[in-house]
């Protein structure tokens, strides 16, 4: 027989994050000691029932998970959020909607009149309060974000039964290249199991949506042919993160082949910008420079600088929207395909790699502060020496054309960072 804990896990799966949620067992024991008398117990029970009832009805308005699947208010919110307000508008399920790229894409879709429903598990890989802030921003644009996990199949099938999504923009994933050595199972949970769970729901949906999803520049791994083209080797990943993204490309191909799902995989190149990810170098360096703390700059073989094809968020958003607009239809119904469906892969990069020390000097300039730099050898936990995108395919088929260089993009990021965290340029914080 399965234990209560196992049954709980099945009902409310979640991505393992860095912060562990404390269990309520200790609280239960205290409760018993404090409220031994029957009449006090009765009054407390009444109070708790009222409290729980108000909590549940409040939750059905602000967020949800499979716990609230039976609420009609929740159903209505999904339907309203999914409905486009322009003629011929799309209806898009955005996974990872409270994430960096997810929140920016959701807002852009809403702005042009498309219907958007978000899904996010708000895990604690990085500060969930930033994810909640993004959710609040989406909510102001009438975008409802469901608080749930990709692996919750019951929740996914409920979402597809409520809204005939024309597209899924699948951006929910365990990100970060180096964290994979610390928590490998979180990558399998989100990027493999979560992806399959989503594709199962999509292939069973009627109508079947077209799926556009985030692969990664990291699939090029140890490829040293530059710039990276979609036809280059991707069979030598350097991290488990990269391996799960490469596996995702193979998995999505299978669903395209068997079920006729229209698939577009986007290989993002080190995306940065306002409301970005605190785990990424440009973000954590900014925090450290402001706090007067040292930053560690990795170097490759023979002390060579590492370089990335840093790509600004607005360019990535345009690439994602163009992918949604040009995705051909899925061809399956009832688990069978009626003909071949599109399977596409595009690089979305900036085409001009910049070294990490140059990134740091741009930050120093915009922050008006000097960084304390520690130069160390690349630790060999998943990094690659450089990335460089060839974007001709995306230019030809999506009309993709990045317009923001690192200097301009970081200026916008620093402006946002200082205002969001309430710091002043040129002045150190005491974080």
Nearer to ligand UGB, 298 or 417 (CB): 298
- Smallest separation, CB 98 to ligand UGB (Å): 16
d(CA 162, CA 117): 11
Does 241 participate in catalysis according to the annotation? yes
Three-class SS string for 17-61? CCCCCCCCHHHHHHHHHHCCCHHHHHHHHHHHHHHHHHHHHHHHH
Does the footprint of ligand UGB cover residue 269 (CB under 6 A)? yes
Nearer to ligand UGB, 292 or 328 (CB): 292
Kindly indicate which of the ranges 200-208, 296-304, 333-341, 418-426 contains the residues binding ligand UGB, using the contact rule CB under 6 A.
296-304
> Annotated catalytic residue: which of 126, 241, 255, 298?
241
Does the footprint of ligand UGB cover residue 171 (CB under 6 A)? no
Nearer to ligand UGB, 379 or 399 (CB): 379
Does the footprint of ligand UGB cover residue 126 (CB under 6 A)? no
Does the footprint of ligand UGB cover residue 234 (CB under 6 A)? no
Does the footprint of ligand UGB cover residue 313 (CB under 6 A)? no
Residues within window 340-369 making contact with ligand UGB, judged by CB under 6 A: 356
Cα-Cα-Cα-Cα dihedral sign, residues 216, 222, 227, 232:
negative
- Smallest separation, CB 203 to ligand UGB (Å): 26
Nearer to ligand UGB, 101 or 198 (CB): 101
- Smallest separation, CB 278 to ligand UGB (Å): 10
Does the footprint of ligand UGB cover residue 312 (CB under 6 A)? no
- Is the CB of residue 38 less than 8 Å from the CB of residue 209? no
Nearer to ligand UGB, 64 or 218 (CB): 218
- Is the CB of residue 349 less than 8 Å from the CB of residue 312? no
Name residues whose C-beta falls within 8 Å of residue 348's C-beta, 6 or more positions apart in sequence: 266, 267, 268, 269, 311, 315, 316, 319, 320, 389, 391, 394, 400
Does the footprint of ligand UGB cover residue 383 (CB under 6 A)? yes
Nearer to ligand UGB, 159 or 177 (CB): 177
Query: Total residues at the site for ligand UGB (CB under 6 A)?
Result: 18
What region, left, alpha or beta, does residue 428 occupy, with left being phi > 0 and alpha being psi -120 to 50 degrees? beta
* Residue position matching structure tokens 């799309």: 90
Kindly indicate which of the ranges 62-70, 124-132, 295-303, 326-334 contains the residues binding ligand UGB, using the contact rule CB under 6 A.
295-303
Q: What is the dihedral of CA 186, 247, 151, 240, to 10 degrees?
A: 0
* Residue position matching structure tokens 């009765």: 42
Residues within window 92-111 making contact with ligand UGB, judged by CB under 6 A: none
What region, left, alpha or beta, does residue 343 occupy, with left being phi > 0 and alpha being psi -120 to 50 degrees? beta
Nearest to 217 by CA among 373, 52, 345: 345
β-bridge pairing 263-268 and 271-272: unpaired
Interface with ligand UGB (CB under 6 A), residue from 52, 296, 419, 424: 296
Residues 184-223, mask of contacts with ligand UGB (x by CB under 6 A)? --------------------------------xxx-----
For the stretch 124-128, contacts whose Cβ atoms lie closer than 8 Å and that sit 24 or more positions apart, written own/partner, are 124/17, 124/18, 124/19, 125/15, 125/17, 125/18, 125/174, 125/175, 125/176, 125/179, 125/186, 125/279, 126/18, 126/277, 126/278, 126/279, 127/278
Interface with ligand UGB (CB under 6 A), residue from 270, 331, 350, 390: 270
Nearer to ligand UGB, 160 or 272 (CB): 272
Interface residues with ligand UGB (CB under 6 A)? 175-177, 216-218, 268-270, 280-281, 296-298, 306, 308, 356, 383
Please give the positions annotated as active site: 241
């Amino acid at each position: 027989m399965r234990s209560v804990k196992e049954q709980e896990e099945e009902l409310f799966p979640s991505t393992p994050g860095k912060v562990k949620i404390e269990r309520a067992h200790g609280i239960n024991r205290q409760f018993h000691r404090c409220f031994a008398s029957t009449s006090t117990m009765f009054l407390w029970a009444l109070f708790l029932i009222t409290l729980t009832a108000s909590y549940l009805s409040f939750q059905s308005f602000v967020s949800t998970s499979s716990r609230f699947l039976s609420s009609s208010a929740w159903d209505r919110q999904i339907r309203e959020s999914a409905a486009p307000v322009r003629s011929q508008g799309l209806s898009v399920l955005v996974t990872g909607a409270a994430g960096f790229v997810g929140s920016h894409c959701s807002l852009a879709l809403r702005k042009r009149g498309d219907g958007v429903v978000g899904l996010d598990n708000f895990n604690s890989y990085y500060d969930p309060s930033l994810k909640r802030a993004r959710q609040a921003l989406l909510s102001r644009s009438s975008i409802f974000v469901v608080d749930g996990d990709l692996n919750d199949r019951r929740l996914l099938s409920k979402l597809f039964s409520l809204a005939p999504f024309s597209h899924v923009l699948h951006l929910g994933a365990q990100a970060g290249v180096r964290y994979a050595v610390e928590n490998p199972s979180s990558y399998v949970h989100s990027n493999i199991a979560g992806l399959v769970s989503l594709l199962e729901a999509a292939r069973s949906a009627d109508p079947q949506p077209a799926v556009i999803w985030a692969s990664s520049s990291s699939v090029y791994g140890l490829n040293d042919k530059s710039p990276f083209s979609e036809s280059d080797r991707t069979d030598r990943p350097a991290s488990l993160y990269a391996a799960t993204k490469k596996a995702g490309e193979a998995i999505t191909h299978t669903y395209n082949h068997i079920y006729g799902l229209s698939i577009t995989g986007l290989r993002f190149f080190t995306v940065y910008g306002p409301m970005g990810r605190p785990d990424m170098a440009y973000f954590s360096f900014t925090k450290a420079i402001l706090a007067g703390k040292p930053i560690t700059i990795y170097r490759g073989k023979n002390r060579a600088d590492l370089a990335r094809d840093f790509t600004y968020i607005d360019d990535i958003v345009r690439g994602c929207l163009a992918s949604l607009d040009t995705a051909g239809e899925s061809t399956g119904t009832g688990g069978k395909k009626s003909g071949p469906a599109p399977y596409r892969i595009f690089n979305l990069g900036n085409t001009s790699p910049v070294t990490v020390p140059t990134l740091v000097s741009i930050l120093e300039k915009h922050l008006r502060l000097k960084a304390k730099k520690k130069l160390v050898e690349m630790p060999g936990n998943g990094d690659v020496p450089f990335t460089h995108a060839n974007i001709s395919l995306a230019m030809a088929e999506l009309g993709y054309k990045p317009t923001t260089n690192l200097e301009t993009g970081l200026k916008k990021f620093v402006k946002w960072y200082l205002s969001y965290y309430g710091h002043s340029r040129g002045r150190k914080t005491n974080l």
